[in-house]
Amino acid sequence: MQKRKMTPLEAGECKRRRKRIRMVTAYDYATASSVNRSEIEIILVGDSLGMVMLGYESTLPVTMDDMVYHLGPVVRGAPDTMIVADMPFLSYHLGVEQALSNAGILMRAGADAVKLEGGAARCPAVRAMIDAGIPVMGHIGLTPQSAAQMGGFKVQGKSASAARRILEDAMALEESGVFAIVLEAVPHELARIVSERLIVPTIGIGAGPDCDGQVLVIHDMLGWFDRFQPKFVKRYANLGREIERALAEYAREVAEGSFPGAEHCFNMKEDELERLVEELE
């Protein structure tokens, strides 16, 4: 059956239909093409590219130019998959006009929706974007762009008061019109309560099984990034080790002269070779 791109409206309706949303990250054409051939409905071009693609220690150095650059090949590689683009650090923090302008840039670059971090404080920007026809996905709990303010990459909402603030943020985002909300690194009990109280779907990452969908960084789930492995990540492959094995084998065969073999070579016709040899003599 031919895959058909999910729309933000359809994603928002998944909860009513009890259909779990499946989302992974991608940052390049080849990876996006692989995801496009799967049953995964949403690709997130996340600002996590700063760590897994650009080698930064956090997401904070990622710019709008970085996001647009990586968004382009993903759009071309996954024409049948909904694509959500992260709004990077300080691309929406300075007011509604800035948020609207930068969201528009990402939409013109091919995104189907944008995602931004934060709760009630971001609602004016969310409403402005939605009024302009830009679908918005929310993101609360652990918000990596604010990790330093939170004391690091720590689970959020562990106390009753903190949990209540996260629930209030989720409800404020829903009222502002987001079509889905990412819940990151919160206790699974809180994620269940939030999911039960919202009409829009929740997409969990480190938030337990009761969310309405799940998202993972593809480099983490494929064992392709070994700087660290969060507790909530399940590795479905170990590409990093397999790539290292392949490179070691290639290096050995080149060194010993067994690659390239005859099957990897092109041949001249015998008469043309003889003519060349005669001319050279």
Catalytic residues: 184
Identify the CA nearest to 158 among candidates 195, 215, 206.
Answer: 206
43 phi and psi angles, rounded to 5 deg: -105, 130
**Cα 114 to Cα 129: distance, rounded to the nearest angstrom:** 9
Strands 180-184 and 202-205: parallel
* Residue 139 parent element (H or E): strand 136-141
Q: Which two tokens stand for residue 3?
A: 């895959």
**Cα 172 to Cα 16: distance, rounded to the nearest angstrom:** 20
Contacts of 70 (CB under 8 A, 6+ apart): 27, 28, 45, 49, 53
Name the residue with tokens 């003889």: 274
* Residue 82 parent element (H or E): strand 82-86
Burial class (CB within 10 angstroms; exposed 0-12, middle 13-18, buried 19+) of 195: buried
**Cα 169 to Cα 141: distance, rounded to the nearest angstrom:** 9
* CB-based burial, 66-95: b 16+ in 10 Å, e otherwise: bbbebbebbbebbeebbbbbbbbbebbbee
